[in-house]
Amino acid sequence: MNGSTLVYYSARSANIIDIICANGLSAYSKQTEAEVRERYSDAERITLDEAVERKAQAFRHPVEGSTEEHFNEMLNVLPPIGWHRTGDGESFKMSEMTSGTITQIYARIGARYFTLADDVRTPHAEIMRRCHEFAKGE
């Protein structure tokens, strides 16, 4: 299976429903497109890459304010990923993914605390930039 593979995707559930075979039938249920759409009225035929990105986007959340207590609680729940401390602040990511590569991210700048949900590969500098931007907008 590659990124150009066609799938049925449901935006309502943010899930890939089925894969489309070369013969036009769904791989799992062996149904036609009409039959799949009868079961899932919002089913769309899109590429696997697009479906993966849409699913990730459904779980991303912008920066919002948090508390020191919540920051410390999450830091101690599971071993963090990418825990960075710089002169600009600190950030870490949860080691348990929400979906795919999306995880909850926590940050501190001075005495201010933040959280967001994004790709586990989001660099510390980008997290700090977004948190600074959020703090300026408040």
Query: 116 — phi, psi (to 5°)?
Result: -155, 165
In this predicted model, what pLDDT tens digit does every residue of 86-113 receive, in sequence order? 998 999 999 999 999 999 999 999 999 9
pLDDT at 3 over 70: no
The two structure tokens encoding residue 41: 């009225």
Residue 64: predicted pLDDT: 98
In this predicted model, what pLDDT tens digit does every residue of 28-48 receive, in sequence order? 889 888 898 888 899 999 999
- Look at the pTM and tell me if it is higher than 0.75: yes
Task: Judge whether 103 and 81 are in contact, CB under 8 Å.
Answer: yes
Strand partners, 45: 8
Residue 25: predicted pLDDT: 86
Q: CA-CA distance, 105 to 83, in Å (whole number)?
A: 10
pLDDT at 4 over 90: no
